[in-house]
Structure 1
Amino acid sequence: MVNSKHKIVVGFSGGVDSLVTCLLLKKSGYEVYAVTLIFNNSYISPVFQEHVKKAAELLNINHEFFDVRSSFNKVLDYFKRGYLSGKTPNPCVFCNQYVKWPKLFEYEERVGASKVATGHYAQKKALNGNLFFTKGIDSEKDQSFFLWSLKPEQVEQIELPLGKMYKAEVKEIAQKNGFTTFSRQKESTGPCFTGKNYRHTLKAMLKETEMPGKGNFLSEEGEVLGRHDGYLFYTISQRKGMGLSFKEKKFVKKLIPESNHVVLAHAGRLWSREFYLKNWTIHYPPALENCEVEIKIRYRSQKAKGVLRKDEDRLRVELSAPEWAVTPGQTAAVYIDEYLVGGGYIDEVKN
């Protein structure tokens, strides 16, 4: 049991995960300060705000909205610049690194709290005297992938009560404590500002001079296979939605912004054993000393074995076996055994 005077900040969306996080921390003796970060205008809708306020009132905890829209503009800019450069950005990881966690730590300092908590499904374990994130028990919900930018000293300040729980247990706790309605809410997926189709959001963000117009689908040999609506509306490994028909399935292999071309190839041409990370961070130096690590190239993918090598300001990833559709612009998380030790942004892929 912790001292009841210990304050803890909880990132609070009003969903079942953040709700149960607050409930568990309050029962363990913390004084909970729930904060709802307002990332964009959808967070100021009366329906959303009333829902969040009601949840906080039922929990009988401190609660405040914190407007971070001006900071979130950098996420929107990153999102747009990524697609314009022919890459596929990961705005959720970028937001975690540059907006969400910095603002939670800022709020922690403002209210004089000693810890920050969220409803992420991940755990913490010590390795050689430092704390690192590890995957959550519920492999279907493990969210350690999004946390690679946090330093060990920051990890020490973070509590993740749901890391040792399965989603079904979390919902059961909510129901047993009178929050059945909240436990039945539909979960949000994908970036908070795009909806199901990023293309609609992207089109609305682009200036007329930034619209690429129609271009050509090309084979790897340069043969014109058809016309498309603009390179930035396609992503690596995409097969559907191109308005083309082939005897053999073809996938997007490469985007060429300079000429507004989209290169298509059969599935076998999208395997890679080597790629580069930029803006990378490794919190455990032995990971760079020619030891075997595990790399996760997307949230839902399995980890792949490989080694890391410094290459000027980038990090070269050499995989033990090929991975399919490694995508520039996306992020990769690096693990040693169960420990999350770093990550970076995929910059260049060698097919």
Structure 2
Amino acid sequence: MSRVVLAMSGGVDSSVAAHLLLEQGHEVIGVFMRHGEEAVEACAIDGQDKTSSPLLPILNQRADHKQGCCSASDAEDGRRVAERLNIPFYALNLEAEFRGIIDYFVDEYSIGRTPNPCVMCNNRIKFGKLFDYADSVGAKFLATGHYAQLAHGDDGPALTRGVDAGKDQSYVLFGIKKKYLSRMLLPVGGYDKPKIREIAGTLGLNVAEKKDSQEICFVTSGKHDQFVRARRGTDSESTAGDIVTTSGKVVGQHPGIEGFTIGQRRGLGVAMGEPYFVVQIKPADKQVVIGPLSDLGCSELTASDTNWLVEPPQGSFRCLAQIRYNSSAWPAEAEVIEDGRLRVKFDEPQNGVAPGQAVVCYDDDRVLGGGWID
């Protein structure tokens, strides 16, 4: 049918996506994205110039199996799947592009915001740079293993939630450019996760029981605060300071505001006799403000840098608004205001509204658009 570039991470979702695309008659080209400064070392090909070309076939795994930022073992898993399915498999060196994602991650945490690098990666790289690559090889479509769906109606393609509500990833795709919807394929969005694993097992794919990644791809330790401090360097100003209650009482100290996010309960390092949560971060004062659950609720927010997958709404409109990837969407009244920003008023106060995260508006299961919480 059509030539398709498929982003292959070495996981079960993108691996089964390759099979599903082949079943539909497409010509599939698998692409693995090298990300981070360690990518060249971790995935280097013996005897080959590492800088001669941005497009390099992965032929073998690093002998010590050490996982760098790009995860050599993931690359090897992807290569094996591609071999079994008899499709070409390439690695793209996107170190410079991923460095921009990492810088954004570090900068946001350093000023008391909570970044979402997965959304930013989708916007800039997976549905940005990879479209450039697709164009360069004459591919009509770009596909990924995201759990979301595309519906086609009279008003054009629409991005909707995936069948598996527990795995739905439509939230992290809100920022893609509307013009790309007609060139996207999301093969696994119509299945639930157990079925995807079943298909992988039936095909004899080595990734059938591979665990889902739980951490940010470039923070391999899982300790994002340590990563941020290391990335900022020893010469940067410390963000350590006081932990205070909403009344201003100092109840402890913290090693850096980059270790906290709004709504956080665990790891506060203070005992208050009842559950306390991070309700505010004050970067200028280097303070982390904590309070009981009753202090956490937020009824209204504004968001900037909006992106719409429908015609931008005029006036106020009803929607379901989601403020975190792993949270539910709740009824709200939304309105596009000055400078294209978005105001959202929830019917009921929401906990964990964190500056730096995205708010995404839905009409039932359809993604309308969203922005970055101020």
Place the TM-score, normalised by the shorter chain, in its bin. Answer: over 0.9
Deviations 1:189-226 (A, max 9, x none): 23101132211211210122434253111122222112
Cα offset, 1:247, TM superposition: 2.0
| Mean CA deviation greater in 124-133 or 312-321 | 124-133
Contact 2:332 2:347 survives alignment (8 Å): yes
- The answer for the alignment partner of 2:5 in structure 1 is 9
Give the secondary structure class of the aligned counterpart of 2:265.
Answer: coil
- The answer for the alignment partner of 1:208 in structure 2 is 234
- The answer for the alignment partner of 2:210 in structure 1 is 185
Find the aligned partners of 2:136 and 2:200 in 1 and give their Cα distance.
29
- The answer for the alignment partner of 1:194 in structure 2 is 219
| 1:285–1:32 Cα change, 3 Å | closer
1:222 partner amino acid: G
Contact 2:313 2:336 survives alignment (8 Å): no
Find the aligned partners of 2:208 and 2:219 in 1 and give their Cα distance.
24
- The answer for the alignment partner of 1:266 in structure 2 is 292
- The answer for the alignment partner of 1:318 in structure 2 is 345
Cα offset, 1:127, TM superposition: 4.9
TM-score by length of 2: 0.87
2:215 partner amino acid: G
- The answer for the alignment partner of 1:236 in structure 2 is 262
Give the secondary structure class of the aligned counterpart of 2:113.
Answer: coil
| Mean CA deviation greater in 307-316 or 57-66 | 307-316
Deviations 1:24-66 (A, max 9, x none): 1112211111111111225734242333222211110011111
Find the aligned partners of 1:283 and 1:66 in 2 and give their Cα distance.
28
Report whether the alignment pairs 1:282 with 2:308. Answer: yes
- The answer for the alignment partner of 1:24 in structure 2 is 20
Cα offset, 1:276, TM superposition: 0.7
TM-score by length of 1: 0.93
2:133 partner amino acid: Y
Find the aligned partners of 1:123 and 1:149 in 2 and give their Cα distance.
15
Find the aligned partners of 1:107 and 1:231 in 2 and give their Cα distance.
38
| 1:296–1:173 Cα change, 3 Å | same
Contact 1:288 1:308 survives alignment (8 Å): no
| Mean CA deviation greater in 303-312 or 258-267 | 303-312
Find the aligned partners of 1:23 and 1:112 in 2 and give their Cα distance.
21
Deviations 1:282-310 (A, max 9, x none): 23236443220111111111111112223
Give the secondary structure class of the aligned counterpart of 1:285.
Answer: coil
Q: Report the aligned-residue RMSD.
A: 1.6
Give the secondary structure class of the aligned counterpart of 1:70.
Answer: helix
1:161 partner amino acid: P
Query: Which ranges in structure 2 are unaligned for 5 or more consecutive residues?
Result: 44-61, 63-71
Query: Which ranges in structure 1 are unaligned for 5 or more consecutive residues?
Result: none
Find the aligned partners of 1:127 and 1:282 in 2 and give their Cα distance.
17
Mapping for residues 29-178 of structure 1, pairs under 5 Å: 29-40=25-36, 41-42=38-39, 44-45=42-43, 46=62, 47-48=72-73, 49-178=75-204
Find the aligned partners of 1:311 and 1:36 in 2 and give their Cα distance.
40
2:346 partner amino acid: L
Report whether the alignment pairs 1:330 with 2:357. Answer: yes
Find the aligned partners of 1:146 and 1:12 in 2 and give their Cα distance.
17
Give the secondary structure class of the aligned counterpart of 1:245.
Answer: coil
